[in-house]
Chains A and B, each alone.
Chain A
Amino acid sequence: MDVMNATLRRTRTKKALNSAFVTAFTAALLAIYLMPFLYMILTSLKTPTQIAIMGSPIYPAEIPTYTFNGENTNTYTFQVNRGGTLTELVIDMNDYVGKRLDVYNVPMPDGTVRKLALVAGFQRESVFIDPENPSADPILWTGGYYKSLSRPWIFSPTWSNYARVWRDIDYPRMLWNTFFYAFTTTIGVLVSCIIVAFGFSRFRFPGRDFLFIVLISTIFLPGAVTVIPTFTFFTQIGWVGTWLPLIVPSFFANAYDTFLLRQYFMTLPRELDEAAMMDGASPLRILTSVIIPQSYPAIVAVTVFHIVWAWNDYFGPLIYLSTRMDLQPVSVALARFNGIYGQQPQYIQAGALMTLIIPLILFFAAQRFFVQGIVITGVEK
């Protein structure tokens, strides 16, 4: 009995160890995988100065500066080794009144480290004042190059980066544009794809399967093979520079969403529609009162997929709205913003966060439907 218990315990320990190992490994992998999110959040709150300094902390921080208020008005003369030879350095403290001086962690000869403000810095020796005792004489520090000193960073998020992006790309307007685009095309996709999916799943007629294959094949059709005449045509009828070329086609059903809905409709039992048909209901009535009420999971899946798709869409708005900045959605605005602020990571990351936050919220609110929707389309195809 005891022997069996011991074996059982050993297997259980082994299982727990395996579990801990696999789960820890996966968590580590996930941390690397999602690391750019952390980069984005932290960088979006930094100052350009901090980003440029090697060895600056990972969290948003600033170096405290000290503003000298003229507590000391004397003039001092130092013999300073600027990098080989001794030269005379005259420091008139009146010149530093109102100046913001950088603070460094300075190791003193007595072994303590003091936070001192730099007055004049050179390669071998530098002159500091003590912010805690500004009326005292300046200190000549002979410990080496001041740039090799560490700096007393303090946590300080620069929220104004967000305000800057908000203003510069006219974010409220871009957000409204994106929302408008997502909303109108979602309506178009839902109305048209539900109707077409119903046609493919509930009627038997010659040619249906042929048309269905044609529909599915359009998934593999490169967009390039239709865009040139389409763009030329939309230019001719004056739709370029408006929302119309982006919204109108959504009312004519697309292959992905029709396929997803059709697969779902096929799983619904036919008895209910047949009963409704016996009662003399028209096909449209069967669709609206029998099929749609049973299909909420698929309809919600199509809705969330489409909103995410519209939020992500870049090429369509780019070509049709390139002349109308005031109509562009956030994705195009963000890319344009990158062209202007490419060297300013803090603004780019703040802009990126503002672009991805809404799809992210939508994802966490409707996770279940995303997973279901993918499984319906991906596995059965």
Chain B
Amino acid sequence: MEQLMRGLPKPPSLKTLREMPPLARREFRNGMLFLSPWIIGFLVFTLIPMVATLIFSFMDIKITDGVLNPPRFVGLDNYVKLFNDNAVWNMRPNSTPGALWVTIRFGLIALPVGIFLPLLLALLMNNKYLKGQSFFRSMFYMPYIIPFVASVFLWGGVLNPETGWVNRILLAMGVPDEKLPGWANDINWVYPTYVIMGIWGIGNAMLTMLAGLQSVPTDLYDAAKVDGAGKFATFWNVTFPMISPVIFYNLTLSIVGLFQYFLVPLVVNAGTGRPGGATMFYNLYLYKQFFTNQNMSYGSTLAWLLFVVILLVTIVLFSTARFWVYYASENP
């Protein structure tokens, strides 16, 4: 992460490679030999497919009735279609939301939970009064390794509107039948349901934040105490800067993950967008174009827009980082 922040080092020019002394040349040859599995894999499974996706987006490639139409070049047609596609952009209230808007609306709930919940848990784990810290740490992490399909069904069971425990408890507490949440089938509750179903995914973030908290040198806390800093001031001026790289790392991964979110709606709501199109996430819409409609070129166009959006968001995030992310090694 820190290396990424410093910017991309320049690839070597051909001239430097040609003028290498024999020993350096051998080092280069051996090094490249060991990197070759990844370099070949990167070319075959990443770079070439990326370029192919870009080419597909300028063509018309469709399968209709099981037959591949002869591909032809159509210029920017797919992009024109994309920028006029209501199913992507629609933000008007009281109508089926566009896939990008669905993704962003969900992110407004999911991202804060995904950062603050692990942070609060890590702070709790790091509390000096907590007994059995390593036991709790393991147990809070443990659900992270549960296959997501299984954890979706476990939470889905607990949150089942008819037979689940949560609604039975609410009912017992006196919530009238018609006011019980319909969870995954309820347009007002489907995002909180997805957030709850994803709660077991916080284990990784919690552990990295905890490790960050534990690596804060104690003399910094002592110094803050001597200066008469209160609890909040200590957190804000000592703890937060010291763990900001970990928060930044988790935030970046969460945002990149958000734009690619689709497996939960695919499994829980069968990828239909129910209820009311609220779960037709961008990436789901993209895969539907390819796998269901068999429209490779439009799917590719959506994929490139996704790539550009993620790239832009990451660039913006990295450019804000120097205002709030603190790397100790930069100021020795």
Contact = CB atoms under 8 A, between A and B. Distances in A.
B154 A218 contact: no
Interface string A4-42: 000000000001001101110011011001111101100
Contact of A213 (B8, B124, B155, B291): B8
Interface string A361-381: 011000100110011001101
Contact of B259 (A43, A222, A228, A319): A222
A224 B283 contact: yes
Nearest to A358: B147
Contact of A36 (B2, B157, B168, B283): B157
Contacts of A184: none
Given A30-B139, A220-B314, A345 B31 contact: no
A18 B49 contact: no
A30 B31 contact: no
A287 to B, nearest CB: 8
Nearest to B206: A374
Contacts of A231: 290
A85 interface: no
Given A23-B131, A205-B32, A211-B35, A314 B149 contact: yes
B256 interface: yes
A23 B125 CA distance: 10
Contact of A26 (B136, B163, B199, B310): B136
A40 B154 contact: yes
A308 B249 contact: no
Interface residues of A, number: 97
B25 to A, nearest CB: 9
B30 A283 contact: yes
B52 to A, nearest CB: 4
Instruction: Give the bracket for the number of chain B residues in contact with chain A.
Output: 35 or more
Contacts of A330: 147
Interface of A is mostly: helix
B319 to A, nearest CB: 15
A338 interface: yes
Most chain B CB within 10 A, of A39, A227, A319, A378, is at A378
Query: What are the 7 tightest A-B residue pairs by CB atom distance, in nearest-first order?
Result: A252-B41, A199-B34, A378-B208, A203-B31, A206-B12, A229-B52, A226-B49
27 contacts: A19-B129, A19-B130, A26-B136, A33-B199, A36-B154, A54-B168, A203-B34, A215-B42, A218-B46, A221-B46, A223-B260, A224-B260, A226-B50, A227-B290, A228-B300, A228-B303, A251-B41, A253-B38, A253-B41, A258-B38, A311-B147, A312-B145, A314-B267, A338-B153, A360-B146, A374-B208, A378-B211
